[in-house]
Amino acid sequence: MRAPQVVPAPGLPERVTVYEVSPRDGLQNEQATVPTEVKAELIERLAGAGLGVIEATSFVRPDRVPQLADAERLMAGLKRREGVRYPVLVPNLRGLERALDLGVDEIAVFASATESFAKANLGRGVDDALAMYAPVVERARSEGLAVRAYVSMCFGDPWEGDVPIDQVVRVGRALVDQGATELSLGDTIGVGTPGHVTALLAAFGAAGIGAGRLAVHFHDTYGQALANTVAALQAGVTVVDAAAGGIGGCPFARSATGNLATEDLVWALHGMGVATGVDLPALVATSIWMAERLGRPSPSRVVRALAADG
């Protein structure tokens, strides 16, 4: 299978952590129920391909995201590999308790930079959502868990349009002050551009939150995800969210299309001389396998090209 020619690019980190979100963010928007056994095999295949962080599921209410109603069953039967992290998303204290009962050692919470999306996704405004997460983060940290905080709609909102940078920083700052150990800045509808990425990261730095505490989560609606990722790496970010095969979206934002495909990300990074620890052929094989189970071709350009190349 063809590999990219390695021509190192200046100003990039030596290594990037790929935060794989396909089992949770990738599958949450699927209309047809994906069997628990398929999800478990997907996670096992991803770990076998060298992904060191795999967000496994969400302990959200089943009526809110029916696709993830099997969170307990999935986590109880998961074959965990040494050295692989399996974080889960929790929406509230009840979700955290469910996760703790299954021995989870890393969680994520999901906030919004905008009022409209907070109300659509969480049923409450930004400040009320932050207040809801404060005891969740506090309890998780008291149990020794790492806590990632997603901030969605950082670059644009389908209802509100442009999102002021200082508004995003305010929400992120509040989550860090609560105890979040990492912030993932999300372009939920994929409208961001590289200059915007650079400006947002600089604003976080000015607020005392350096690139070492930040991750980026780009959707590829307008074809900007890879360019935005490179801009983030040049600003010092070393954690990038992606979904194998480019699957995913958001059930609460109709404008959100697929995530940045992990294969497209890995091809670009390896070509620029940036290490990821990911076995690209094994990952491509995993995405082809998953696409067959979803009944449609993978949207990843690298998956399609390498599949055709043989």
Which of the residues are catalytic?
250
Q: Residues 145, 250, 151, CA angle at the centre, nearest 5°?
A: 45
| Structure tokens, 245 | 């095969």
Which residues are CB-contacts of 192 (< 8 A; sequence separation ≥ 6)? 154, 155, 156, 218, 224, 228
Give dist(CA 282, CA 211) in Å, integer.
Answer: 30
Q: How many CB atoms lie within 10 A of CB 282?
A: 15
Give dist(CA 248, CA 281) in Å, integer.
Answer: 21
| Structure tokens, 242 | 């992606």
Q: Are 267 and 274 in contact (CB under 8 A)?
A: no
Residue type, 182: E
Q: How many CB atoms lie within 10 A of CB 179?
A: 17
The beta strands (E) that lie in the chain are given as 17-20, 53-54, 57-58, 88-89, 106-112, 146-152, 182-187, 214-218, 239-242
| Structure tokens, 161 | 């349009």
Nearest to 290 by CA among 225, 226, 249, 246: 246
